[in-house]
Structure 1
C-alpha cells in the first residue's frame, strides 16, 4: 500500500517520477514537482496520449501553438500524442503532485 500524497522528507532538488503501473499499453506515473519547469527551447513531443491531473499545487502548461493553461488542484487535461507542450510553472510550496496516464488510443 502507498499514498499518492506521501512525499519523501528529503525530496531531491529535481522532479520525482514514479511509475505506478507500466505495461506495453499504458504507463501510470506520479510526478512530484518543486518548482521545476521544462528547460527553455525544449518541448515534450510524446508518442502516446497523456491524460494528466494536478492533485496538489499550481502549474501552467504551454503548447507549441503558444496557448497556455493554468492548472489548480483537480484540473485535468488530455494531451494528444505529438502535441508539443512544456511545463512553464510549478509551485515549490506546496509541491505539485501530478498523476499522469500515458496510453495509445486507437
Structure 2
C-alpha cells in the first residue's frame, strides 16, 4: 500500500498519515496499554533503579501489604485493579471502533 501511494504521487508524510499510521494504530494502542499496565505494576524494578526515591503506585502499596495493614493494602489493590480494567476497556473500545469504522483518525 505504501509503494502504491508513492507511485500515485503521495509525499512521505501523506503516506505515513493515510497509510502507515492507520495500519499500525491497533498495535500501537494495544502496546501502549500493555506498557501502562506493566509499568504501573513494577515494584522491584522501580525500587532497584530509583533507590526508593521514585514514588510509584506500587511503592505506596507494598508497605501497607507488608506491614499487615490489610485494609489499606486492599484499597490500593482495588484502585490498581480498577485503573487496569479502565485502561483495558479503553483499549478494547478504541480497537472495536477501528475495526467497525475502518480507522481511528477520520471518522
TM over 0.5: no
Larger radius of gyration: 2
TM-score, normalized by length of structure 2? 0.22
Give the number of the structure with larger relative contact order, counting CA–CA contacts within 8 Å between residues 6 or more apart. 1
Higher strand share: 1
Higher helix share: 2
